[in-house]
Amino acid sequence: MSATATAPPAATPDGAAEAAAKPGSGRRPRWTGGRIAMLVAALVLVVAWLLPLAWAVATSLKPESETTKTPLEWIGSTITFDAYSSVWESGDLTRWMFNTFFVAGMTTLLTVAFSAMAAYGFARTEFRGRKVLYGLVLAGIMVPPQVLIAPLFAEMVQLRLVDTYWGVILPQVAVPAMVFILVKFFDGVPRELEEAAFCDGAGRWRVFLQIVLPLSRPVLAAVAIFTFISTWNNFLWPFLVTTDPANMTLPVGLVNVQSTYGVRYAQVMASLVIAGLPLLVVFALFQRQIVRGVAHTGLAGQ
C-alpha cells in the first residue's frame, strides 16, 4: 500500500524535495576537474540531442533546391519560409491541427472531470458495491489499450463511431490509472475540511466543487497535462479508427501523406516542425509544471 502512496500527493513530497535541494544549491560546488569533465559530457549529450531538431529546422528554412547539397550547409543562400507556406496551403495540415486540438482538449476535459468525480466517489462515499467496483477499476490498470484494438474497432463499427471525433475520444477517456492517482490524493486530504462545510449546511456537490477541487489543483493539473500530451501524440488508436483524411489527427495525417511530399525535403521538414511545435512551445512556457506532472503521473501510473 505505502509503496505507491508516496507519489500521488503531488504537492508535498515534491515541495519537500525541492526545499531540500535548495540549501545545497546555495553553495554551488567549485569548478574542479571532475565537474568540468561532467559539464563537457553533458554538453556533448545536449548537442547530440539537439542535432536532429536543428537539422529539421535548418532544412525547412532552405530553398528546396539547396536541401540536397553536399557537403552540408546549415544555412542556405537565403532563409525562406516557402516550404511552410506551401505545406500550409497544400495539405490538410490546418484541419488536422484543429482535429488534434479538439480531440486532445475534449479527452482531457472529460478525463479530468470524470476521473475526479469517480475518485471522489470511491475515496469519500459509501455505497453498495463500492469496493467491488473500485477493485474492477484497479484491475483495469493492467489492461493496455493496445491489446483491445481489434474488439474495440469491431465495437466502433457497430456503434457507427468509426471516422468520428467521438470514436477517437471516448476510448481514451477510460484510463483507470488516472482514477487511482486521484483516489490516492483524496485519501491524503484531511476530512475535517469537508466535515466543517457539511456542518455549515453545504451539500455534497458544493463541497466537491468548492473545497475539494480547488485543493486538488496540482494533482488535477498533473492529470490534465499527462492526458493532453499523450492524446496529442497518440498514434495507434486514431490511426486505426480514422480513414477519412478530414477526420485524422496531426500525427496520423502526417504519416498518411508522407509519400505525397516525395523528396521535397524542405516541405517534409516544415510539416514536421509545424506538427511538433505546439507542444514544444507549451513546454517552454510551463516547464516546471509539465516536468512535475509527467514525473508524478508516470510514477503513479505503474
Considering the complex, state which of residue 14 and residue 82 has its C-beta at the smaller distance from other proteins: 14
CA-wise closest residue to 57 among 300, 299, 273: 273
Q: Where are the alpha helices (DSSP H) in 70-175?
A: 82-90, 93-124, 130-140, 149-159, 165-173
CB of 84 to other proteins, least distance (A): 15
Instruction: Supply the minimum distance, in Å, between the C-beta of residue 272 and other proteins.
Output: 5
In the chain, which ranges are E strands? none
Residue 93 contacts residue 294 (beta carbons within 8 Å): no
Q: Which is nearer to other proteins, 24 or 244 (CB)?
A: 24
- Give the nearer residue to other proteins in terms of CB position, either 192 or 244: 192
Retrieve residue 236's grid coordinates: 495507434
Q: Residue 168 is placed in which grid cell?
A: 477517437
Judge contact between 239 and 254, C-beta under 8 A: no
Q: What is the DSSP letter of 212?
A: I
Closer residue to other proteins, CB minimum distance, 25 or 89: 25
Please state the closest distance from residue 194 (CB atom) to other proteins, in A: 8
**Cα 177 to the center of its chain, rounded Å:** 14
Other CB atoms within a 10 A radius of the CB of residue 13 amount to 13
CB of 227 to other proteins, least distance (A): 13
Supply the minimum distance, in Å, between the C-beta of residue 155 and other proteins. Answer: 6
C-beta of 83: minimal distance to other proteins in Å?
A: 13
Q: Which is nearer to other proteins, 88 or 283 (CB)?
A: 283
Select from 238, 227, 232, 248 the least CA-distant residue to 280: 232
